Structure 1
Amino acid sequence: MFGQKRLSREGGIEIVVKELATRMVKKGHEVTCYNRSGHHVSGDEFDDTQEKVYLGIKQKFVPTIEKKGLAAVSASFFAALYCAFGKYDVVHIHAEGPAFFCWIPKLFGKKVIVTVHGIDWQREKWKSGFASKFIRQGEKNAVKYSDEIIVLSKGVQTYFEDTYGRKTRFIPNGVTRPAIRHAEIITEKYGLIKDSYILFLGRLVPEKGIRYLLEAFKDVKTEKKLVIAGGSSDTDEFANELKELAKGDARILFTGFVQGQELEELYSNAYIYTLPSDLEGMPLSLLEAMSYGNCCLVSDIDECTEVVENKALIFKKSDVNDLKKTLQEVCVRADAVETLKRQAADFICNKYNWDEIVQETLELYRRAK
């Protein structure tokens, strides 16, 4: 597998690759992950981690040019090259950009599977210039050269059929029911207790709709805090813009990138979780939030509404006024919030089971021509 940065919580793709790979290893398969070299968003202490085997997964770190726009391209090129010459039955590529190089392992007789985690060229940071052209060509190369394409939503499945006449396989992401954590670290670090805050957790990028969330929340009358948890992507420019927008409201808190017990406590003790995105692939953070029994408030994009069905609150995408109105209502309607909380975990864990998804993926490997 390649396309991920490394086996971490750095982003949704990284989580998916780790979940798939660890379970496939447990089933007796040999899995090699080609990871990027270089900086890790979790901190400098992770940068030198070059373990050759991690949870039974073989890890190889490929040469990576650490310049904006070149890290993913260079790492994907070398990963594709190494996969082409390796003794592998299947090469599984994650995301449209890395799929640009799917013809290389295909040329050497490998079965090639591409998972499209979202229509990446639509993301704000990649809408123009070289990156946009590269990712769009990656999408086209996936259509032309891959044996199978996996998509994570029905909307993306329709897009490939309408745009290219290419049939794809819908295999969503999964989630595992977690253990609930009492507030300890988050109380000590941020003064947060159970049900005292609204949580956003994800990468700080424009398409996540965080601007709307901040604008809406500043006009909501509540003593609850708004916690923005997550690291920036590539640069801190957008994160700094968000902090500037939040100035003057002491209820808004930025934690930066979180993981481990702190992450688990944030999920476990939120009053509600919100994902106001304009664009998603299949939001793993939303699955995770529901698995912790959270009442969720999401934008009405298909990628969110397909996940939550009628088990969450929904507002109009990009509509600050509708988001503000819904936030105000949930802050005074604890009974409605509690009803959705009680339904969330059972619903999501039964709907998206990792073990079933891994089995379906392995069957797709076997069927690929």
Structure 2
Amino acid sequence: MIADKWSLEKDSYILFLGRIVPEKGVHYLIEAFKRLDTDKKLVIAGGASDSAEYYESIKQAATGDQRIILTGFIEGRELEELYSNAYIYVLPSDLEGMPMSLLEALAYGCCCLTSNIAECADVLCDESGMMHGVTFRHGDVNDLADKLGELLVDVGKVRKIKTGAAGYITGRYSWDKVVQATLKLYRGADK
């Protein structure tokens, strides 16, 4: 489906998937990507939400670089294919709650590169302090470009992160663990 629609093959693209709003930092990603000498594409998947002006600025920033693909809102099988076949998933946010798209990307076995804000870094870092992805200094386009460039060259590192991603995230955020943590919280509130 994604091969026919956008000429995307496995590991041929970097993926951002989320709402196209300023706090997601898509403008950083486009600027950093344009600095890279790569044949990989940058796929920006998501809708404008309530910030049509920002979405227009993203479309303008992507103009002229044939490697950048804006898909619009994605769901269903296309969403699954985009996650499953991405070389790297990038979330360059300045602000997040619990980033569901990051959890989904990890569950699909993506190598994830995120800004180092706590909401993203905490998802990637397990209890022992081991990172299950890569972070860059939020808002720092130079650092983002450097980290992207490193991952584009270090296929072994990307493969290693991908291999452990799904097991890590499904173990950390299993329903049983979430239910137990919720019950513990509620029981503590009774006191």
2:21 to 202, 205, 222: 205
More helix by share: 2
> Are 2:40 and 1:219 equivalent residues in the alignment?
no
Matched residue, 1:288: 104
The residue type paired with residue 193 of structure 1 is E
Cα distance between partner residues in 1 of 2:171 and 2:63: 41
Cα distance between partner residues in 2 of 1:257 and 1:346: 28
Matched residue, 2:93: 277
Matched residue, 1:320: 141
1:313/1:240 CA distance change after superposition, 3 Å: same
Question: RMSD value over aligned CA atoms?
Answer: 1.5
The count of aligned residue pairs is 185
The residue type paired with residue 169 of structure 2 is I
Q: Deviations over 1:130-164 (max 9, x none)?
A: xxxxxxxxxxxxxxxxxxxxxxxxxxxxxxxxxxx
Matched residue, 1:260: 76
Q: Deviations over 1:89-141 (max 9, x none)?
A: xxxxxxxxxxxxxxxxxxxxxxxxxxxxxxxxxxxxxxxxxxxxxxxxxxxxx
Deviation at 1:343, TM superposition (A): 1.3
1:250 to 54, 66, 70: 66
The residue type paired with residue 338 of structure 1 is R
Cα distance between partner residues in 2 of 1:354 and 1:204: 29
Contact 2:20 2:54 in 1 (8 A): yes
Q: Could you list the runs of 5+ residues in structure 1 that have no partner in the other structure?
A: 1-184
Matched residue, 2:168: 347
Matched residue, 1:159: none
SS at match of 1:192: coil
Cα distance between partner residues in 2 of 1:190 and 1:307: 30
- Residue identity (%): 58
Report runs of 4+ in structure 1 exceeding 6 Å deviation.
Answer: none
Cα distance between partner residues in 1 of 2:72 and 2:22: 16
The residue type paired with residue 62 of structure 2 is A
Q: Could you list the runs of 5+ residues in structure 2 that have no partner in the other structure?
A: 126-130
Deviation at 1:356, TM superposition (A): 3.2
Deviation at 1:354, TM superposition (A): 2.7
Cα distance between partner residues in 1 of 2:51 and 2:140: 27
Contact 2:21 2:51 in 1 (8 A): no
Contact 2:93 2:138 in 1 (8 A): yes
Deviation at 1:332, TM superposition (A): 1.4
The TM-score, its normalising length taken from structure 1, stands at 0.48
